[in-house]
Amino acid sequence: MTSIFIGLAVGLVLGLTGAGGSIFAVPLLMAVLGWSFTQAATASLLAVAVAASVGTAMAWRHSYVRYRAASLMAFVGLLLSPIGIQVANALPESTLKIVYSLLLAVVSVRMYLMAVKSSEDTMIVRSAVSGEGYPSIGKVGRINPATGRLIWTRPVAMTVSCIGAVTGFLSGLLGVGGGFVIVPAIRAILPLSMHSAVATSLMAIALTSTGTFIFALMQGRNVPFLVAFPFLIGTVFGMVLGRMLAPHISGPTLQKAFALLAMGVSIAMATQAML
CA distances from 261 to 23, 25, 133 (A): 12, 13, 29
Say yes or no to pLDDT of 164 above 90: yes
State residue 151 phi and psi, 5-degree precision.
-90, 115
In tens, the pLDDT along 96-121 reads 999 999 988 988 888 888 777 765 55
Measure the CA–CA gap between 264 and 68, rounded to whole angstroms.
37
Looking at per-residue pLDDT, the higher value among 90 and 249 belongs to: 90
Q: How many CB atoms lie within 10 A of CB 241?
A: 16
pLDDT at 133: 52
Interatomic CA distance for residues 212 and 238, integer angstroms = 23
Phi-psi region of 26 (alpha: psi -120 to 50; beta: other; left: phi over 0): alpha
With bands split at pLDDT 50, 70 and 90, how would you rate the model's confidence at 126? Answer: very low
Domain boundaries, the chain: 2-274
H helix intervals, the chain = 2-17, 25-33, 37-60, 67-90, 93-117, 154-174, 179-189, 194-218, 225-249, 252-274
Handedness of CA 118, 165, 48, 150 (dihedral sign): positive
Q: Which of 17-26, 55-64, 174-183, 251-260 has maximum average pLDDT?
A: 174-183
Residue 60 has pLDDT above 80, yes or no: no
Half-sphere exposure of 1 (CA within 13 A, CB side): 0
Quickly count: other Cβ atoms within 10 Å of residue 222's Cβ.
Answer: 11
